[in-house]
């Protein structure tokens, strides 16, 4: 896969799956915009990319905040001028019974997982429509279809991603913009271990495996059409 000089924006890029996605796209020649809430860890990823001869920029942004997303757009515009590929990966989860979920936790999960995806997509989509080219990949999770106790809100946000993907794909198909979702089962990341504890790594997905599948989908090699979801399992 060759992504030479493509501008790829990855949310949640400071660690876990997002970090691996960013490194993999950079290794294939892409210029990567790293978005997350912690500049220090973003810059660690940026340094890793640059040390290997790649091109990347870090933008600290809370994508649940509209002003932060607009500031992100300005920074990307000044540096690269466009976004060709958008990977909506950022996610937050709180593991607790629904009756114990606070309003702040509800707003944080829906704010990042759904509103953040909406805001970033809405911001960069007009440029894709104008150029009649672009790819958006939204990262859901198997929990979207197989609800898990104490994760009702998180499950709902991940299910919303699937509906968003299908609907948006129908809106933008005539403009040459492709919209996909990926739905991995458990991924061996800090978030997964926080939610579910230590797990035999042979029984869950590696971030590297999921990242490669995302790249294939982005390149049109995932075996699915725009609007569809690629389910990824061990």
- The verdict on whether 154 is a catalytic residue reads yes
For 28, the 3-state DSSP assignment is coil
Yes or no: say if 52 and 25 are a contact pair by the CB < 8 Å rule: no
d(CA 137, CA 107): 23
Yes or no: say if 136 and 86 are a contact pair by the CB < 8 Å rule: yes
Q: Which member of 80, 154, 180, 192 is catalytic?
A: 154
Yes or no: say if 18 and 89 are a contact pair by the CB < 8 Å rule: yes
197 is written with which tokens? 């504890």
Contacts of 96 (CB under 8 A, 6+ apart): 105, 150
Cβ of 185: how many Cβ atoms within 10 Å?
16
Yes or no: say if 88 and 61 are a contact pair by the CB < 8 Å rule: no
Please give the positions annotated as active site.
154
């Amino acid at each position: 896969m060759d992504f030479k000089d493509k501008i790829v924006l990855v949310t949640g890029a400071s660690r876990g799956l997002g970090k691996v996605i960013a490194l993999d796209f950079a290794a294939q020649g892409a210029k990567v915009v790293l978005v997350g809430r912690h500049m220090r860890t973003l810059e660690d990823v940026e340094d890793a990319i640059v040390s290997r001869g790649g091109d990347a920029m870090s933008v600290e942004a809370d994508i649940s905040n509209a002003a932060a997303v607009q500031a992100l757009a300005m920074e990307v515009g000044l540096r690269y001028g466009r976004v060709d590929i958008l990977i909506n990966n950022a996610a937050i989860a709180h593991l607790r019974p629904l009756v114990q979920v606070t309003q702040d936790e509800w707003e944080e999960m829906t704010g990042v997982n759904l509103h953040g995806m909406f805001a970033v997509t809405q911001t960069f989509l007009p440029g894709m429509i104008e150029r009649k080219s672009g790819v958006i990949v939204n990262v859901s999770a198997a929990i979207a279809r197989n609800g898990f106790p104490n994760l009702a809100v998180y499950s709902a946000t991940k299910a919303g991603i699937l509906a968003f993907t299908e609907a948006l794909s129908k809106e933008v198909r005539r403009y040459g913009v492709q919209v996909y979702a990926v739905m991995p089962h458990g991924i061996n990341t800090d978030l997964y271990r926080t939610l579910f504890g230590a797990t035999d790594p042979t029984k869950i997905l590696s971030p590297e495996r999921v990242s490669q599948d995302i790249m294939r989908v982005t390149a049109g090699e995932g075996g699915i059409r725009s609007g569809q979801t690629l389910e990824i399992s061990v």
